[in-house]
A = this chain, B = another copy of it.
Amino acid sequence: MEKKRNISMAVIRRLPKYYRYLNELMKNDVDRISSKELSEKIGFTASQIRQDLNCFGDFGQQGYGYNVKDLYREISSILGLDEQYNTVLIGAGNIGQAIANYNFDKFGLTLKAIFDVNPKLIGIKIRDVEIQDIDNLEQFLKDNKVDIGVICVTKSSAQKICDTLVANGVKGIWNFAPVDLQADEEVKIENVHLSESLLTLTYLLNGRS
């Protein structure tokens, strides 16, 4: 892993969108695309596209545009998709089960274990992974190298689970609990706050300013 230059989160958050559009272009057998054509599809300006991609390297060619397959591979690598991520999921309620069923293998994640407190859920399998008692979590983390922990527990349990994960070497947290988790800076936390997304929608629909 190379040391990252100081690239803004705004740029980083646009990268997965480039990745998604380039994937679509490849599927449609498009070999090359200009920043102007890409702009019409993706909705960013051509100059923003050039600027964003220039943060990571010199990919385009004047008068030719971007080679779709090459740029896709580059962005894939930039996004860390050359790596494999051992993953555990904690909290097999509605959201947890949906995420456990979500096909994130294509992004290099392998679901190694699922944990819950609910005795009714323990022993049930989701995609061949058995739900275990949460009491097994710590030992599992000591016995297995885990890269990403997906937290789908309640707000009140999330920080404790996060602490256990981090204390046992987990460096990435995908957090679905409606709380801002605290951890060392080297731990990367990405939140999916459904209620915040929904409140943005109600604001846009009916809010006042």
Contact = CB atoms under 8 A, between A and B. Distances in A.
Given A1-B206, A98-B98, A16 B200 contact: yes
Interface string A85-113: 10000000011011101101001110000
A107 B2 CA distance: 44
Nearest to A190: B201
B5 A209 contact: yes
A98 to B, nearest CB: 4
Contacts of A193: 16
Contact of A107 (B101, B108, B171, B202): B202
A165 to B, nearest CB: 13
Report how many copies the assembly holds. 2
A53 to B, nearest CB: 12
Contact of A192 (B85, B107, B172, B192): B192
A102 B97 CA distance: 13
A79 B13 contact: no
Nearest to A43: B180
B101 A94 contact: yes
Given A4-B207, A78-B208, A81-B199, 14 more contacts: A5-B209, A16-B195, A16-B196, A20-B178, A20-B195, A20-B196, A78-B203, A78-B207, A83-B202, A95-B102, A104-B195, A107-B202, A174-B197, A190-B197
- Sorted from nearest, which 3 A-B pairs have the closest CB atoms? A80-B206, A16-B199, A16-B196
